[in-house]
Structure 1
Amino acid sequence: MDNKGRLPWGYRWRSSKSFIISTIIIALFTETFLYGFVVPILGYMLEDRLRMDPSKTLRMTTVVQTLHGFMSLVSAPVIAHFADRTPNRKVPLLLSLAGSLVGTLLVASTLSIDTLFVGRVLQAVSGSATWIVGFATLSDNISHEQMGKTVGLAMAFVTAGQVSGPMAAGILLELVGYWPTWGAPILVLLLDMIARRLMMERREHHSSPSTKPATRRESEDPERSALLPPSSPDQSPTTQLGSSRSFYRTMLSDVRVLASLANTLVFSTIVSAFDATLPLHLRDVFHWNTLSVGMIFLTLQVPSMCLGPLIGWLRDRVGVRVPVTIGWVLMAPLLWLLGVPGEKHFPWASPQTNGEAIFIASLIGIGMVYTLVRGAGTLQLMAVTKVMESKNPKIFGEFGGSSRVFSMTEVAFSLGSMLGPLIAGSLSEVIGYYYMNIILAAISLLLAWATFRYFQV
């Protein structure tokens, strides 16, 4: 409150759970939209704008995508460290917006390969902050019983970003040209900026990390008073357990946490492998243009976007373990089938016969299975953390460990984003696209066993 005790304009709806959740969902949509936007036009940027030899396009695409994952990986723990010491999450979100805007402008300019790299670095760091702070905000505002449905809804919009990013880039580049194409991500960033500016967390206005007793109004409102319970000197030994070293040692010693991170890592590896290899594979095997490549991402993502809320509801009812295990088991044959078209050992799936139909059907199937495994690692990690904090509310410090929890997820996801293009690009060059998919299928089966063994029901 200000000195006169008045609430800010629109406080009720600006601080409501529905508006905060909507703002975070928009932020996550924006980040995935920006990440995927460059995928179908990166070849054009390298070959036409930077005059690079087409024989080097796959390797440079791998480098650009790997750089994004690497920078997200190294920046996530640093971001989480400071975010868990800041009661106001809106400021980190606004800073990530500024970084995304600058990074997008640098990537779009494509003045040189160095400029492209710097822009991609800024996008990676800003995107990492969005994921960490965004999911921490959701965790702060949503009960565990509703988390599956909320994460399912969020993931549906994340998928929408992944769909609309590559699709919009491929279509707009063909229809309106290069620079008008970049108007789409700028518009998305502006909408995100407006939503983040309006958002008001309740603890932003009513709380501070001090030892002052609660006011009468706060004591009468358990929702407000629970956000930041007062601390006292005799709590300091518990608060010390919130140090980063103790936090990561506690979390990484739990096999359930390791299984959660493995799910996120492998999922991200497969997704980023698609981003790195699909455009060039489709161009080489089926001779598709950027418009067709942009549309193919639609067949991959729309099924999971439509099924996301339903699978989230199912997870809230039956748990995470069984649906995720089924998802990884089904992923293996679909990945194998995806590599069949164009492989000389399968003439019935050649580009001249049934290759395109098999490829598209495989992608649709993978898109449906995506929904079963996507976000599962995050949900498992949140559940494990809730159990730990229920036994000792101050185990991870005064403001909790939400940001650091999601930094672990972000590190795993970023590591997969880095390894996916690196592994997929290298394997595609050395042993071919078909055998690369066989390796990914084998990893999926291994993860299905680990999920069933270590996920809690």
Structure 2
Amino acid sequence: MTKIKAPKRPWGHSWRSSSIFNIVSIITALFAETFVHGFVVPILPYILEKRNNVDPADTQQLTYLVLSAYGAAAVASGPVIEQLTDRIKSRKIILVLGLGVALIGTATLATSTNGRTLQAVGSTTAQVVGHATLNDMIEPKNMGMVLGLVNTFISVGAFSGPAVAGFMLEYVGYWATWSTVLAVLVLDIVLKILMIEKPKKNNEPARVFDEESRVTSAQPEGENENSALLGGTPAKSYTSIKGVSDIQTGAMSMLSFYRIILTQPMVIIGLVSYMTRSSLMASFNTTLPTHVRDAFGWGSFPAGMMFVGLQAPAIVLNPLFGWIRNRTGNQLLSGVGFILLAPLLWLLGEVDQKWFPWSGSEDMTKVVYVVVIICIGCVQTLPASVGATEITSIIENLESQLPGIFGSGGGHSRGHALSNGSFNVGQLVGPLLSGVLADNLGYDRMNSTLCAICFVTSILAICFREKK
């Protein structure tokens, strides 16, 4: 008898297919996405004025047009990406292609202002495919710990991108600045190519949960972007939702999926809150660099450091707020966060007005402005986890009761695309709203409008929260 040889494994199979390497590879993709997203913000005025000869008076208008193009492209590409993610067997291929598009867009942006759309497509791919891949690889009991680590790296990317860009432009030079972000993307693509995908975890067989086990299974450890919206709230029996009992396993259409998910009031409130917070983040990207340049004469590096003040507090405060959230409910904490953001945003717009006691000193005005920015960075962490959390909970419950209801690819990528879509709508609305207001009414009235929006969102989050 001829001896059948076992197929030769590829080089480095043991470590390339390990869970640790796969998770690290996905985390670097999500880090690169936020790093690239914020990288251009503090240096965009330089690109417009110095390299494209734009009149400084028109910089604010062009800034919000460039940044809103990112949101528009992300909103348009999101549904297509999530459908491909659920249908194509190899998510690694989608990730590599998405990062390649982001690389091309970044290189284009370095030479003009036309690459932001391609960056948006690559960023959306990393978000949707990255989170869906993590859901495939990680057991529910370990999800809280891993996603806590993921959120930390996302926060680091969010503030290190603007800080690195501002520093390098001011002290190293234009092309050296762009070489940094291009190197991050190339390294990320190499890691994805090396990664050997692990088989998807099998869906657990259908089972009946009692109330205690439902509460336990719905609450991952710690605070993260995928922990349940309402800590301590018993999971519902989703087979009671209209239309679910009539759906055959694996036959749920896209329309049925969204009809079921969007009939949940807490999902709607969570998505609105997520969109509002995204709009606030986008408004800072749009108006802060130009404002601090005109008001204080600050260049790209001080402007970049303002984003450190906005994002860095999340790393320290996330564990504390996560502990509180698991005991009070996410919607209550989000409502409190928006209430606290409202007066801070108003003060940010009025900080240089002459009737304040510190207005006589320009240095003190700058100090107060920085302090308010840091306070906003601390408070905006409160409504941070209001996106995919309830959607994930619904999907997990439906899959446990009706295995295969979302098909072989599962429904996580569609769920993440929905929450990511609300974030991207905020990235579209935020630059347009803040840019138009700042350009036509002034920075102070723009912040007053954002203050009012936060107040209304806080009322919705608190009044319509599900009672425990």
Quickly name the TM-score band, shorter chain normalised: 0.7 to 0.9
2:189 paired residue among 193, 196, 199: 193
Cα shift readout 1:26-52 (whole Å, capped 9, x = no counterpart): 111111111111111111111111111
Looking at structure 2, the residues matched to 365 and 320 of structure 1 have their Cα atoms a distance apart, in angstroms, of 20
1:400 aligns with 2:410: yes
Checking the alignment, whether the CA contact within 8 Å between 1:75 and 1:128 is kept in structure 2 is: yes
**How far apart are the structure 2 equivalents of 1:323 and 1:146?**
24
State whether residues 41 and 290 of structure 1, in contact with CA within 8 Å, keep that contact through their aligned partners in structure 2.
yes
2:335 equivalent among 325, 343, 354: 325
TM-score (normalised: structure 1): 0.85
The match for 2:457 is: 447
CA distance in 2, matches of 1:451, 1:61: 31
Contact 2:32 2:157 in 1 (8 A): yes
Aligned residues: 421
Who is 1:238 aligned against? 249
Give the equivalent residue in structure 2 for 1:178: 174
Contact (CA 8 Å) 2:274, 2:386: kept in 1 or not?
yes
C-alpha spacing 1:178/1:326, structure 2 compared with 1 (3 Å): same
Q: Which residue pairs with 2:277 in the alignment?
A: 267
Structural mapping, 1:28-427, within 5 Å: 28-110=30-112, 116-117=113-114, 119-203=115-199, 237-241=248-252, 243-312=253-322, 315=325, 319-344=329-354, 346=356, 348-349=358-359, 352=362, 354-427=364-437
State how far apart, in whole Å, the 1-side matches of 2:430 and 2:163 are. 21
Which 10-residue stretch deviates more, 422-431 or 135-144?
135-144
Please report how far the alpha carbon of residue 391 of structure 1 lies from its aligned counterpart in structure 2 after TM superposition: 2.9
State the shift of 1:361 in Å.
1.0
Shift of 1:23: 1.7
Gaps of 5+ in 1: 111-115, 208-234
Kept in 1: contact 2:332–2:465 (CA 8 A): no
Shift of 1:15: 3.5
Q: 2:293, 2:357 → 1: CA distance?
A: 19
Could you tell me which amino acid in structure 2 is paired with residue 132 of structure 1?
Answer: V
Distance 1:339 1:61 in 2: 19
Q: Distance in 2 between matches of 1:17 and 1:379?
A: 23
Cα distance in structure 1, aligned partners of 2:83 and 2:467: 28
Deviation larger for 31-40 or 390-399? 390-399
Change (3 A) 1:319 1:23: farther
Q: Distance in 2 between matches of 1:137 and 1:350?
A: 55
Q: Provide the identity percentage.
A: 39
Q: CA RMSD in A?
A: 2.5
Is residue 271–residue 386 contact of structure 2 (8 Å, CA) maintained in 1?
no
Displacement of 1:320 in angstroms is 2.8
Question: Post-superposition shift, 1:276?
Answer: 0.2
Q: Distance in 1 between matches of 2:18 and 2:247?
A: 32
Q: 1:312 to 1:319 in 2, by over 3 A?
A: same
Answer 1 or 2: which has greater helix percent.
1
Gaps of at least 5 residues in structure 2 are 203-245
> Which runs of structure 2 are paired with 1:421-436 in the superposition (5 Å)?
421-436=431-446
Partners in 2 of 1:200 and 1:267 — Cα distance?
Answer: 36
Partner Cα separation in structure 2 for residue 318 and residue 199 of structure 1: 40
Q: CA deviation at 1:443?
A: 2.0
Residues 351 and 301 of structure 1: is their aligned pair in 2 closer, same or farther, counting only changes over 3 Å? farther
Which moved further from structure 2: 264-273 or 429-438?
Answer: 429-438
Contact 1:273 1:420 (C-alpha < 8 Å) held by counterparts: yes
Partner of 2:28: 26
Question: What secondary structure sits across from 2:87 in the alignment?
Answer: coil
3-state SS in 1 of match to 2:298: coil
Secondary structure in 1 aligned to 2:353?
coil
Distance 1:43 1:7, change over 3 A: same
- For normalisation by structure 2, the TM-score amounts to 0.83
Q: Which amino acid aligns with 1:429?
A: D
Change (3 A) 1:389 1:343: farther
Q: Is the 1:68–1:418 Cα contact (8 Å) retained in structure 2? A: yes
